[in-house]
Chain A
Amino acid sequence: MNLKLKALTKSPWVFHICTGSCNNCDIEILDALTPRFDIERFGMVKVGSIRHADVLLVTGAVSRKAGPRLKRLYEQAPKPCFVVAIGSCALGQGIFKGSYNMPEPVDKYIPVDAYIPGCPPKPEAMIAGLVKLIEKLRGK
């Protein structure tokens, strides 16, 4: 495994993308960023600009409007970058399945590296998912 990826697993900076969720998953992500859970222990920091991002946290069932923008954001992120789908909506559209303006889930638009189920997933589940992603990258 090369130094590049190794350093990345030590400091994955997360960027949050909401593609039309009910907003509950987003609130849980913000919960996961609070001092109580302290994800800075793993070197994770939330960044404001997509250009600084290493891990994209995608929530929501990708509405027609959000789809092309999601793709564009993924293209704007400097590679290597990884995508984590958070919540039932992002995984398989959840309660919005079959809705008139939600054509396809996240992984039909961009490649997804980790899925975190739940409606919404707890912060603990998110941290567990992110740690699994890191372990996958380290090749364990």
Chain B
Amino acid sequence: MELLKSIGYFVIFPGFLFTAAVGLLASWIDRKVTARVHWRKGPPILQPLYDIVKLMGKETIVPQGSSRLTFLLSPLFGLSATIIVSTLLWRTIISPSTTFLGDLIVVLYLLTIPSLAVIMGGFASRNPLASLGASREMKLILAYELPFILVALIPVIKAGTIRMGEILSYQLNHGIVIGSLSGIIGFLVAILCMQAKLALVPFDMAEAETEIMGGTYIEYSGAPLAIYKLTRAMMLFVVPMFLICIYCGGIDFAHGWLHILLGVLKYVGLLVVIILIRNTAPRVRIDQAMKFFWGPMTGLAVLGIVLALLGI
């Protein structure tokens, strides 16, 4: 019975199906808002789903001389990590008392794996442009991971615990983390790191359609590409949700519909901020991105931590 329940958690409710549905909806919102920014009408609501179904039906080509197993398995690797993060996160949000010690660290770990999967796939596909994209992605991870982990520490310092459920209940009792100065600084840095984590403009140099033609995804077709797209859509849901959990108090299920609605609005608001950044900024070069993350962003993150330690 316990086993069945856990499988249900992973496959249906907070896991695969739920995250995929909301993720696809989020990517539709992304495309629709982008379209409205361009003054056009934009795609229908089911468009991301059509894309996935279509890709599932297409031929899968494995390039000659590539590492077949790695090439085909790396998308699944990323997808499974995303599913686990989502399950952990939603278990925390729904019942904050059921989590284990150090789940924040596990989530931080798992959030890196989709990017690692992209790197593996890129290198396995034996295409010079894909390798270029993969090496850029690798540098990008090195760049944004430092400030991202630093700003994830700010709520930990504030709440004095490394358990995500306790961070949530701390925020319920003492006000949300973003209500303080260190919280605001940390949240700003976190949004920019998230932009890089989701590989959105201005930090999408790993795939750079106009420059290296899809970069790491260049050799992917059919079902593996569909899985990558799905993973990206799910990440578009999971990463902002993670930030909302540790900075803005998550979604409060215990106090009625109004609070749930507020939680959903928080997510949609953050999503729209991401989309607007994506539509108004040009792509930066990889060296500029590294300078940006290791310089000003890390500086701000450290400042945030110092302020948090001082209790501001």
Binding site for B on A (CB under 8 A): 3-4, 7-8, 10-11, 35-36, 38, 40-41, 43, 47-49, 51-52, 54, 76, 78-80
With contact pairs A51-B219, A52-B225 given, residues A79 and B58 touching in the complex (Cβ less than 8 Å): yes
A78–B209 CB distance below 8 A: no
Contact sample, A vs B, 10 pairs, CB 8 Å cutoff: A10-B47, A10-B54, A38-B35, A40-B42, A40-B43, A43-B44, A43-B50, A76-B61, A78-B61, A79-B59
Q: Cβ of B66 < 8 Å from any Cβ of A?
A: no
* Option from A4, A36, A40, A49 in Cβ contact (under 8 Å) with B35: A40
B287 is an interface residue with CB less than 8 A from chain A: no
B interface size (C-beta, 8 A): 31
Interface on chain B toward A: helix, strand, loop, or mixed SS?
loop
Contacts of B209 in A (CB 8 A): 47-48
Besides the known contacts A49-B217, A51-B61, A51-B225, 16 further A-B residue pairs in the complex with CB atoms under 8 A apart: A4-B54, A7-B57, A11-B47, A36-B40, A41-B40, A43-B47, A43-B50, A47-B209, A51-B219, A52-B214, A52-B217, A52-B220, A52-B221, A78-B61, A78-B221, A79-B58
Return A50 CB to nearest CB of chain B, in Å.
9
Let me know if A38 and B214 touch, CB within 8 A: no
How far apart are the CA atoms of A69 and B220 in the complex, in Å?
A: 20
Which 8 pairs show the lowest CB-CB distances between chains A and B? A4-B57, A48-B213, A38-B40, A7-B54, A10-B50, A35-B38, A78-B59, A7-B53
